[in-house]
């Protein structure tokens, strides 16, 4: 209990003093996860829409694999990426290991199946409603995907926020490919792990509280900006 209350105090101390290191690693956490979620959304949302409107031979298998990938173990993703990006690996020449870019790649791989799968599930319902109408109006496949993405944007927000949640709290992959290097690749989660290993529990818990507050704040901000739960049922 002592550690917990000390942690809360530490969190307040860090936040009110706007601790320089805290701000730095928090911003890096956000930058990495926002970049990953942006890339994952750019690919995953259209892919989800495409899956919803397209019938092809291996569709069921594709969806099953996609759903399975939602639970991809971060450590394994980090490990494989590490091998690929290391000096002797196939992408070693790019010099990406232990950079924020490598962390963004890792998180994108983790988030993409979540965004795509949740987008597909949400848009499948909508496609069921729109199916006859959009065929009747003689829309092209691209127009169908566009209509679903536009009209389903509120449910897609949930997909994106879920992906964000997975990314911001993730440590397994970014620890391996990022390396937790101070002022370079240290983010909130890796900093917490470091403090724990040093036995500095109050600071670790303080950082943890900051992390959770940050996640809540971002969610609220996005909900307010997109005005969900306000205009009718959509």
Partner 1 sequence: MVTSILPLKLEEATVRKGGSRILGPLDLTLDGEGCTILLGPNGAGKTTLLRLLHGLDRTSGGQARWATPREEAYLRQSFVFQSPVVMRRSVRDNIAYPLLVRGVGRKEARERAVEWIAHVGLAGADDKPAQILSGGEKQKLAIARALIIKPEVLFLDEPAANLDGTSTRDIEALILRAARAGTRIVMATHNFGQARRLADDILFIYRGRIHERGPAKEFFAGPETKEAETFIKGDLLL
Q: Which residues bind partner 1 (CB under 8 A)?
A: 126, 129-130, 132-133, 135-139, 143, 147, 150-152, 231-234
**Minimal distance, residue 136 CB to partner 1, in Å:** 4
Considering the complex, state which of residue 199 and residue 232 has its C-beta at the smaller distance from partner 1: 232
**Minimal distance, residue 20 CB to partner 1, in Å:** 46
**Minimal distance, residue 128 CB to partner 1, in Å:** 11
Angle at 71 between CA 127 and CA 218, to 5 degrees: 75
**Minimal distance, residue 44 CB to partner 1, in Å:** 21
Question: Helix 59-69 and helix 20-53: axis angle, to 10°?
Answer: 160
Considering the complex, state which of residue 76 and residue 133 has its C-beta at the smaller distance from partner 1: 133
Burial of 10 (0-12, 13-18, 19+ CB in 10 A): buried
**Minimal distance, residue 150 CB to partner 1, in Å:** 8
- CA–CA distances in Å: residue 58 to residues 63, 65, 124, 145: 9, 11, 17, 19
Give the helix/strand (H/E) hosting 95.
none
């Amino acid at each position: 209990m002592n550690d917990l209350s000390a942690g809360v105090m530490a969190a307040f101390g860090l936040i009110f003093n706007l601790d320089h290191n805290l701000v730095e690693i928090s911003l890096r956490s956000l930058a990495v996860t926002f970049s990953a979620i942006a890339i994952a959304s750019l690919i995953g949302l259209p892919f989800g829409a495409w899956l919803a409107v397209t019938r092809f031979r291996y569709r069921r298998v594709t969806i099953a694999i996609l759903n399975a990938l939602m639970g991809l173990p971060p450590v394994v993703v980090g490990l494989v990426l590490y091998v690929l990006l290391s000096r002797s690996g196939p992408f070693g020449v790019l010099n990406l290991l232990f950079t924020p870019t490598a962390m963004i790649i890792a998180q994108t791989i983790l988030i993409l199946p979540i965004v795509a799968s949740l987008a597909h599930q949400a848009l499948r319902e909508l496609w069921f409603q729109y199916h006859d109408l959009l065929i009747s109006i003689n829309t092209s496949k691209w127009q169908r995907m566009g209509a679903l993405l536009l009209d389903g944007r509120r449910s897609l927000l949930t997909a994106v926020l879920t992906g964000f949640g997975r990314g911001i709290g993730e440590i397994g992959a970014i620890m391996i490919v990022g390396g937790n290097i101070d002022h370079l690749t240290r983010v909130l989660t890796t900093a917490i792990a470091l403090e724990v290993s040093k036995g500095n529990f109050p600071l670790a818990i303080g950082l943890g509280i900051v992390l959770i507050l940050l996640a809540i704040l971002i969610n609220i901000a996005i909900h307010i900006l997109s005005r969900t739960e306000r205009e009718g049922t959509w």
